[in-house]
Amino acid sequence: MSRRLVALWAAPFLLVVLLFQALPVGSVLVGSIVTGGEWSLGNYASLLGSRFYRGAFSTSIYISVVTSAVGMAVGLPLALALHRRSAPVQRRFLTLFNVASNFVGVPLALAFTILAGVNGVVTLLLVRSGLVQDFNIYSLQGLMLVYAYFQVPFTVLVLFPSLGALTQDLSEQARLMGASRLTFWLKIGLPVLAPSLIGTFILLFANAMGTYATAYALIGGGANLVTIRIGELVAGDVFTDPNLANALAVLLVLVLLAPILVDQLLLRRVPRG
Amino acid sequence: MSFVELRGFAKSYGPTQVFADVDLDVAQGSMCILLGPSGCGKTTLLRAIAGLVRPDGGRLHIAGQDVTALPPEARGIAMTFQHYALFPNMTVRQNLAFGLQQKRLSRGQIQDKVDGALSMMELGARADARPDALSGGQKQRVALARALVLEPRLLLLDEPLSALDAQIRKRLRDELKRLQRDTGFTGILVTHDQEEALVLGDQVAVMSTGRIVQAASAREVYDRPATRFVAGFIGDFNLLEPGAVAQVFGVRTAQAWAIHPEAIDLREADAAEGHGLVAAAVVAELRIQGPVLRYLVLANGIELKVDVLNRASVPTLPAGAAVSLRLDPGQVREIAD
Amino acid sequence: MADAAAAAAWPDRLLIGVVSALLLLPVVAVGVSAVSTDWYSGLAPSGVTLHWFAVVLSEPEFQSALGRSLLIAAGSVALQLLISVPAVLAAHCYLPWLDRWMERLVVLPYALPQVVLVVGLLQIYAAEPLVLIGTPWILLLGYLPIAFPLLYLPLKNNLRALPVQELLDAGHLVGASDLVIARRVILPCVKPGLLVGLSMVFALAFAEFVFANMLVGGGFRTLAVYLFGQRQKVGQVTAVIIVIYFAAMWLATIVALSVLRGRKAAA
């Protein structure tokens, strides 16, 4: 079979990717440097000059960093614990975590409304036990709780395969050589896992930063998140400005892309040996 | 009391017995081989000696000290793992230094010892490489250097050569032998390879289903297998039941005979008969195995393996050639069980 | 090893158990709420009923939304089979440059949130020459690139384990064309990965909300958009919709997988 014919097999796929991924991204890029029909960086200037949009970025980044940290803090010990269990147990719980990390968006937001809304059973329990005066799921804290719900299982799923690098004979070898558990983790365990931990954190951050549906369904336009603002600028009821949306989208992608690129270009390319 | 003395070691996981009634004595400066098929419990026994597995019963003394209750790190033992267990985030040099650092030696002492170990194993050129840049043979040499640099009282080696390909395996085997001779370390090595066991072992302990069935010098184990299992596992014996012995050599015996293929003389049928047991046979097949010629012959319907040194002066006999076999009765091992 | 594991087992079990229980909590809450007569005043519902299922299921708008979502999901699976699978195979066997490119495409969903694509798609497909906004076509075609990594990763895993070049050579020697080898040998060998990938594509297309709401909305109301519209209703109604939503997703996935499995087995 000739190579031209083979390329034909891939042509429809390339066409769809071009039309529905590359083209829209190009359109966003180009549109972001157009203001009132003229080339300009005005969109970026007005975004960066706006307290409101700067606030959206700081809120989004804050939520993403905190929930990623929570995801790591719970997910890493959880993945390690699971790593020490037998293969059938691992399969069972990985399936559960897979389902949980896919339970996102509108259903998740509404499930939390039922569970922890104004009349939710968790809210009632917390308030009656006197642990909290008032619990509001429709707040930034509530939103972070919901994000944590998918960040923790997501951490386990991403991190789990890389734990294979940390074999049992490594820790046994270290122990035979007189290293304490702490020394093992500081000198061997964490350094070995470091690239995966960094990579996982970046994915968690992007996962939270790009979330739209969950936040929109839970709080609606009230949440000052970058994704919500973008949605509002293109499809809002009150006020739309597609070119401002373009610039906001480009800034969001830059925030997401920067750590991925730094990770891939700098950290992974370090020559080994 | 011998340098390493193991008495009554036993271990079970629930109803599954891994090993039981294990006694073992290893002299200082000697290499003891634990030889057995996979699943015979030899690796778990090694791990129990290291202290990584807690035995259900038994005592272990090293250099007169009872170490049974001591944790692994307090036993003065070093171990190499089948897949090397090199710390992937550290260079070769850092791997070697790690154990010495845990002993809180001075920087200068560590440097000297590491340099010594590196040059002993001819690893100087790769000192700053990371494990994933090393070949399999290099990895194993690093693992050995890392163990030896700690100057352990006892070195445990878990299948050190099994993950290597044939060529490198032989070279590293000889290197290990030289190393043991030069440094005089006391070692226990686990393997399932009988040739490796015979070459490396001052003492070979053959294990079967969790028990040591024979522990003796390499020569002794090869020449005088204690049981049918040892005969089958160690050498390439002809194992003849009493009925077959009668058929081939016309001798009545109560016990089975184990005969090494090289113990049988094979001559052309018209050659003058010598002393000993004699049988007529026909060549069924010839295999050229390099240093030896392996004949499969049929003697009165019984197939026997016969090895002849492959010298240029020895003519090869074609299949169907009539031959006579001669056997010195002193070469026959009677197998009790 | 087992000794150490047994000694250290209980903290591990505790951690896994507690986190799993917390993860199951919203799921349980939805399930309980869906069959509750009333769950406002107390910690437990006052009675059990199937009333809410009857209410939701008899709603015509719900029925058609469910149908639309199933249609989009099935259509997405078909498109991936027709368009992406041949491309992955061609790239793996003959086009290394495309293969490397696809590998990089996999992180794209994380760098490129859907809401960003929405902005671009709205600008291009809302006007002539190609008006797709407001029609189901924008969903079918728009989901293809964003669902692609879900198909690619498990499929590629299976392909890597297969000596594809040798299989092609062996097939050519007996006179089989690439198409025949792909259909009769390679696809059956990578079926496990393919099925996993396609079922994830199905689930994504069935449940997707951002595109469905912002690019199409009322023009072709999918189940996720319908559910969003019902969020102000009593908890039991949304709970029932969520239950049916997941039940339909899993059921359809199982049916789709068994159909594919059966057809491949018969072929």
Predicted complex ipTM exceeds 0.85: yes
Q: Does the beta-carbon distance from A77 to C15 stay under 8 Å?
A: yes
Based on the number of CB atoms within 10 Å of its own CB, is B12 exposed (0-12), middle (13-18) or buried (19 or more)?
Answer: middle
A164 interfacial to chain B (CB closer than 8 Å): no
Q: Does the beta-carbon distance from A172 to B98 stay under 8 Å?
A: no
Q: Which of B53, B79, B81 to mutate to test the interface with C (most CBs of C within 10 A)?
A: B53
Q: Does the beta-carbon distance from B47 to C1 stay under 8 Å?
A: yes
Based on the number of CB atoms within 10 Å of its own CB, is C53 exposed (0-12), middle (13-18) or buried (19 or more)?
Answer: middle
Contacts of A230 in chain C (CB under 8 A): 115-116, 118-119
C16 interfacial to chain A (CB closer than 8 Å): yes
Q: In 3-state terms, what secondary structure has residue B128?
A: coil
- C235: nearest CA partner in chain A: A114
- Reading the block at residue A21, the tokens are 């991924």
pLDDT at C264 > cutoff 60 = no
The DSSP symbol for C238 reads H
Instruction: Give the pLDDT band of residue C93 (cuts 50, 70, 90).
Output: confident
Cα–Cα distances in angstroms (integers) from residue A175 to residues A166, A179, B54, B74, B119, in the given order:
14, 5, 15, 10, 26
Contacts of A167 in chain B (CB under 8 A): 83, 85
pLDDT at C40 > cutoff 60 = no
For chain B, list residues with pLDDT below 70: 270-274, 337
Residue owning tokens 């004979």: A169
Q: pLDDT value at position C267?
A: 46
Q: pLDDT value at position C5?
A: 46
Q: pLDDT value at position A212?
A: 94
> Per residue in A200-217, pLDDT tens?
999 999 999 999 999 999
The nearest CA of chain A is from the CA of B128 a distance in Å of 7
Q: Does the beta-carbon distance from C115 to A227 stay under 8 Å?
A: yes
- A195: nearest CA partner in chain B: B89
DSSP labels for B215-246? EEEHHHHHHS-SSHHHHHHHS--EEE-HHHHH
Chain B segment 44-63 residues within 8 A of A by beta carbon are: 50, 52
Q: pLDDT value at position A139?
A: 86
Q: Does the beta-carbon distance from A178 to B102 stay under 8 Å?
A: yes
- B158: nearest CA partner in chain A: A169
Interatomic CA distance for residues A52 and A46, integer angstroms: 10
Q: Does the beta-carbon distance from C5 to A19 stay under 8 Å?
A: no
User: Which among A174, A177, A194 has the least Cβ separation from residue B150?
Assistant: A177
Instruction: Give the pLDDT band of residue C44 (cuts 50, 70, 90).
Output: low
Q: pLDDT value at position A269?
A: 47
pLDDT at C1 > cutoff 60 = no
The nearest CA of chain A is from the CA of B136 a distance in Å of 15
- B56: nearest CA partner in chain C: C3
The nearest CA of chain C is from the CA of B20 a distance in Å of 17
Average pLDDT for residues C218-229, to the nearest whole number? Answer: 91
Task: Kindly report the pTM of this predicted structure.
Answer: 0.84
pLDDT at A177 > cutoff 50 = yes
Average pLDDT for residues A10-19, to the nearest whole number? Answer: 94
The nearest CA of chain A is from the CA of B215 a distance in Å of 27
Instruction: Give the pLDDT band of residue C71 (cuts 50, 70, 90).
Output: very high
pLDDT at A270 > cutoff 50 = no
User: Which among C20, C33, C146 has the least Cβ separation from residue A114?
Assistant: C33
Least Cα distance to A30 among A239, A199, A249 occurs for: A249
Interatomic CA distance for residues B285 and B250, integer angstroms: 24
State the average pLDDT for chain C. 85
pLDDT at C261 > cutoff 90 = no
C210 interfacial to chain A (CB closer than 8 Å): yes
Based on the number of CB atoms within 10 Å of its own CB, is C232 exposed (0-12), middle (13-18) or buried (19 or more)?
Answer: exposed
pLDDT at C179 > cutoff 90 = no
Chain C segment 245-264 residues within 8 A of A by beta carbon are: 245-246
pLDDT at A273 > cutoff 50 = no
Residues of B with CB under 8 A from a CB of C: 13, 47, 52-54
Instruction: Characterize the bridge pairing of strands B203-208 and B187-191.
Output: unpaired
**Which chains contact C through at least 3 pairs of Cβ atoms less than 8 Å apart?**
A, B
- Reading the block at residue A11, the tokens are 């042509």
The nearest CA of chain A is from the CA of C242 a distance in Å of 6
Lowest mean pLDDT among B306-315, B328-337, C2-11, C62-71: C2-11
The DSSP symbol for B162 reads T
Contacts of B47 in chain C (CB under 8 A): 1
Question: CB pairs below 8 Å between B and C: how many?
Answer: 8
Q: pLDDT value at position C63?
A: 93
Contacts of B78 in chain A (CB under 8 A): 176-177
Q: Does the beta-carbon distance from A272 to B130 stay under 8 Å?
A: yes
Q: pLDDT value at position C34?
A: 85
Cα–Cα–Cα angle for B62, B67, B68, nearest 5°? 120
Interatomic CA distance for residues C30 and A38, integer angstroms: 52
pLDDT at A6 > cutoff 80 = no
**Which chains contact A through at least 3 pairs of Cβ atoms less than 8 Å apart?**
B, C
Q: Which residues contact A193 (CB under 8 A, 6 or more apart)?
A: A162, A163, A165, A166
Instruction: Characterize the bridge pairing of strands B302-309 and B322-327.
Output: unpaired
- A180: nearest CA partner in chain B: B102
CB atoms closer than 10 angstroms to residue C96: 10
- C3: nearest CA partner in chain B: B53
Q: Does the beta-carbon distance from B13 to C1 stay under 8 Å?
A: no
> Per residue in A243-257, pLDDT tens?
899 999 999 999 999
Q: pLDDT value at position A272?
A: 38
Q: pLDDT value at position B312?
A: 80
* Contact call for residues C192 and C158 (beta carbons, < 8 A): yes
Cα–Cα distances in angstroms (integers) from residue A127 to residues A173, B256, B303, in the given order:
51, 85, 88
The nearest CA of chain B is from the CA of C5 a distance in Å of 11
Q: Which residues contact C170 (CB under 8 A, 6 or more apart)?
A: none
Q: Does the beta-carbon distance from C144 to A20 stay under 8 Å?
A: yes
C228 interfacial to chain A (CB closer than 8 Å): yes
